[in-house]
A and B are shown apart, each in its own frame.
Chain A
Amino acid sequence: MFENLSDRLDSVFKKLKGHGTLNEKNIEEGLKQVRMALLEADVNYKVAKNVISDIKTRALGQEVMESLTPGQQVIKIVYDEFTRMMGSKHQALDLGTGSSGSIMLVGLQGSGKTTTAGKLGLYLRKQGRTPFLVPVDVYRPAAIDQLKKIGTQLDLPVFDSTPDMKPLKICQDAQIAAREQGCDTLVYDTAGRLHMDDTLMAELETLKKGVSPSEILLVADAMTGQDAVNIAGSFDQRLDLTGVVLTKMDGDARGGAALSIKAVTGKPLKFIGVGEKFTGLEPFHPDRMASKILGMGDTLSFIERA
C-alpha cells in the first residue's frame, strides 16, 4: 500500500541533485516524507514531531557521505536515531541477586499476557531456572483454566488459583507454594485492564506492594495505534514498569508503537512475541525494530556498507 520510504526519499532528492550538503531547504521535503512514513507506521503524532525535530538538528550541515545518496543519508540518520532511542542493544531480564525472582505481566485486554506467561516459563526453564506460573486473572471467563492448560502442555507447575480468590491472596499464597515446590521464579499473569480503570489499576498497585516483583512487564500489542502513549504512560506511571514485551510481531504491522512506548516510558523493550506457539518469544533488537518501523526490511544493507 505504501511506497517504500527509500523510494520516496530518492524521488525527493532527485530534484535536488548536486547538493553536497543537507541544508534547511532540501531537508524539509525529505523530512515531510519521513514524518508521513512514521505516522503510517503508527508512531504517535507528538513522538513523531519530536523525532523529526531531533533528526533535523542532526541532519543539518551533514556532508552527504560518498557512498550514499542524500535519500539514503536521511534514512541512515533516521535509522540511527531510532536505534539510539530504542536502546541500542538487547536488555536481558533482571531477576535480582537473591535466590528467587518474579515477573508480573500487565496490560490491556487481549494483548497477549497469558500466552507470554507460558512463553516466559519455557524461556526461563531453558535458562536453567524453575518457573512457577501464577494465574491472577479471576475476572475473564476461563482465564485461570487457560494458564493451567498451558502449564500442562509445557509441563510447567501452575498455582492452583480459583476465581473466588482475591488476586493479592493468590499472589501471596503462590509465593509460599513456589518455595515449597522448589521453584525459583514466579510469573504472575494478571487480568487485562484498561489503563484508565482506576479500580483495577489500584489493584495492580496493591499486588506490586504485596509481592514486590523483580520485573513488571507491560505486554503490548504491536498493532497498537496512536493510543500506545496513553496506555504505556499510564501503566508506567502507576507501576513504574521495568520493561515491555511487544506481542504479535509475526504479522505485518510496522510496530511504530514500539517507538511511542519507549519515548513515553523510557523503559526497555525486552522481548517480542512472534507467534501463538510457546517458542515464539525473542529478545528485542532495536536495530531490527527500526528497519521494521521504516518498512525497509533488508534494504537497509546500504547502511551497513556505508
Chain B
Amino acid sequence: TKTREVLNTDINDLFKSSRKIDDALFEELEEVLITADLGMDITMEMMDRIRKKAGRLSTADQLKAVLKQELIALFPGKEDPETVPALPRPHIIMVVGVNGTGKTTTLGKLATRFTRENKKVLIAAADTFRAAAIEQVGIWADRAGATIVRHKQGADPAAVAYDGVEAAMARGMDVLLIDTAGRLHTQKNLMEELKKIKRTVEKKMPGAPHEVLMVLDATTGQNAISQAKMFHEAVNLTQLALTKLDGTAKGGIVAAVAGTLHLPIRYIGVGESMDDLQEFDAVRFVNALFD
C-alpha cells in the first residue's frame, strides 16, 4: 500500500553487504530504532555505542551485527521456559495491565497450555467491571477445559479472587489464573483495588500470588514505561507478556520496561486463538526489529 511504502524504509536495502558506513546509514539505523518504539533513551545510547565502534568496522553488515548484539544485551538473560512447580499448589498467577492489552486472551491461552500439560486449572473471573468480561473468560475456560469461579457483574473482585483461592485449594488445583479488569495506571482507586485483590490472595495463601504477569500491547508507545512502573509499584510484577506481535508494531518499548524493572518477558501473543502464545526469544525479537 502507498502509505506503507512511503513510511517504511526498505531495511534490506540498508544492509546490502558492500554498503559502507556513512552518516546516511546512521540516520537510517536511528530511524529503525525509533520506529520500533525503543524510545529515545535506548536509541541514543545504542547510536552512541555503534558510533564508537564504527571506526573498527568497514561494512554496514558488520555495524548491523554489532547493533543487534547491543540490542540483545538489553534483555535480562534467557531463563528456562516457565514450568509450573509441583509445590506449592495451587500455583497462582494474577494477570494485570491497562485496558484492552490482551489480559483475558493471554490468560485463556495460558489456561490451554497448562491443561494440555494435564494440569488442573481454575480461573477466577475477577474482572467484574467490564460488560461481559465474565462471559468472555468463561468461553476461554471452556475452550481450555478449565473450571471457573465467578460472581455477578459488579461484585467485589477481591471476593472473587478469595473464592478462587479457596476453591483451588479445596479442589486440589494445580494452577489458579486470576483475570483482573483493565485499568489505567493513573487511576488511584483502581490501583488500590488491584492491591486489595493481591492482599486478599496473599492472606488466603501465604506466598501467593506466585506470579504477577503484566500484559503489554506491542502497539503501545512510550506510555508502556509509565504503565509498568506504576503497576510494579502497586503489585510487584514478576513477569511480562507482549501481545499483538502479529501486527506491524515492533513492541520495542518492552526493552526499556524489562531493562528498567529487571523483569523477564515470558510470553508473546501472536494472534487471537489459543495456540497463538509463544515464549519470548530476545534474538528473534531483535531480528524482527530489522524486518
User: Does A184 reach chain B (CB closer than 8 Å)?
Assistant: no
**Partner-binding segment picked from B30-38, B68-76, B170-178, B202-210:** B30-38
| Chain A 249-288 interface 0/1 with B at a Cβ cutoff of 8 Å (1 = within) | 0111110110000001000000000001000000000000
User: Does B57 reach chain A (CB closer than 8 Å)?
Assistant: no
In the complex the two chains form, is A227's CB within 8 Å of B249's CB?
A: yes
| Set of chain A residues within 8 Å of B222, measured between Cβ atoms | 40-42, 225, 253-254
Q: Which of A39, A109, A195, A248 has the most CB of B within 10 A?
A: A109
User: Does B7 reach chain A (CB closer than 8 Å)?
Assistant: yes
| Chain B 244-256 interface 0/1 with A at a Cβ cutoff of 8 Å (1 = within) | 1011111001000
In the complex the two chains form, is A276's CB within 8 Å of B129's CB?
A: yes
User: Does B225 reach chain A (CB closer than 8 Å)?
Assistant: yes
User: Does B149 reach chain A (CB closer than 8 Å)?
Assistant: no
| Set of chain A residues within 8 Å of B244, measured between Cβ atoms | 108-110, 194
Cβ contact of A194, chosen from B226, B247, B253, cutoff 8 A: B247
**Partner-binding segment picked from B131-139, B192-200, B277-285:** B131-139
Considering only residues 10-64 of chain A, those with a C-beta below 8 Å from chain B are 36, 39-42, 44-46
- How far does the alpha carbon of A54 sit from the alpha carbon of B1 in the complex, in Å? 26
Q: Which of A110, A112, A147, A221 has the most CB of B within 10 A?
A: A110
In the complex the two chains form, is A44's CB within 8 Å of B4's CB?
A: no
- How far does the alpha carbon of A226 sit from the alpha carbon of B39 in the complex, in Å? 10
- Could you give 14 example pairs across A and B, Cβ below 8 Å? A44-B7, A141-B108, A142-B136, A145-B131, A145-B135, A194-B246, A223-B223, A230-B7, A230-B248, A231-B247, A237-B2, A248-B98, A248-B100, A250-B184
Cβ contact of A140, chosen from B40, B253, B272, cutoff 8 A: B272
Number of B residues, CB within 8 Å of A: 52
Say yes or no: A1-B219 contact (C-beta < 8 A), given A45-B31, A234-B3, A276-B129: no
User: Does B267 reach chain A (CB closer than 8 Å)?
Assistant: no
- How far does the alpha carbon of A209 sit from the alpha carbon of B126 in the complex, in Å? 41
Interface residues of A (CB under 8 A from B): 1, 36, 39-42, 44-46, 108-112, 114, 139-143, 145-150, 153, 194-196, 221, 223-227, 229-231, 233-234, 236-237, 248, 250-254, 256-257, 264, 276
Q: Which of B1, B102, B132, B140 has the most CB of A within 10 A?
A: B132
| Chain B 238-276 interface 0/1 with A at a Cβ cutoff of 8 Å (1 = within) | 000000101111100100000000000000000010000
- How far does the alpha carbon of A141 sit from the alpha carbon of B112 in the complex, in Å? 15
- How far does the alpha carbon of A142 sit from the alpha carbon of B133 in the complex, in Å? 8
Cβ contact of B35, chosen from A1, A45, A233, cutoff 8 A: A45
Q: Shortest beta-carbon distance, B178 to chain A, in Å?
A: 18
| Set of chain B residues within 8 Å of A231, measured between Cβ atoms | 219, 247-248
User: Does B220 reach chain A (CB closer than 8 Å)?
Assistant: yes
- How far does the alpha carbon of A111 sit from the alpha carbon of B101 in the complex, in Å? 9
- How far does the alpha carbon of A237 sit from the alpha carbon of B4 in the complex, in Å? 10
| Set of chain B residues within 8 Å of A257, measured between Cβ atoms | 221
In the complex the two chains form, is B37's CB within 8 Å of A112's CB?
A: no
In the complex the two chains form, is B100's CB within 8 Å of A110's CB?
A: yes
Considering only residues 22-65 of chain B, those with a C-beta below 8 Å from chain A are 31, 34-37, 39-40
- How far does the alpha carbon of A153 sit from the alpha carbon of B154 in the complex, in Å? 12
Say yes or no: A226-B40 contact (C-beta < 8 A), given A109-B272, A233-B1: no
Say yes or no: A252-B186 contact (C-beta < 8 A), given A225-B37, A225-B220: yes
Beyond A225-B222, A236-B3, A253-B222, list 12 extra A-B contacts (CB 8 Å): A42-B222, A45-B35, A46-B6, A111-B100, A140-B136, A145-B132, A145-B136, A146-B135, A149-B132, A225-B220, A226-B250, A227-B250
In the complex the two chains form, is B40's CB within 8 Å of A39's CB?
A: yes
In the complex the two chains form, is B139's CB within 8 Å of A251's CB?
A: no
Q: Shortest beta-carbon distance, B197 to chain A, in Å?
A: 17
- How far does the alpha carbon of A215 sit from the alpha carbon of B31 in the complex, in Å? 35
In the complex the two chains form, is B248's CB within 8 Å of A40's CB?
A: no
In the complex the two chains form, is A251's CB within 8 Å of B223's CB?
A: yes
User: Does B185 reach chain A (CB closer than 8 Å)?
Assistant: yes
Say yes or no: A146-B3 contact (C-beta < 8 A), given A224-B221, A225-B253: no
| Set of chain A residues within 8 Å of B101, measured between Cβ atoms | 110
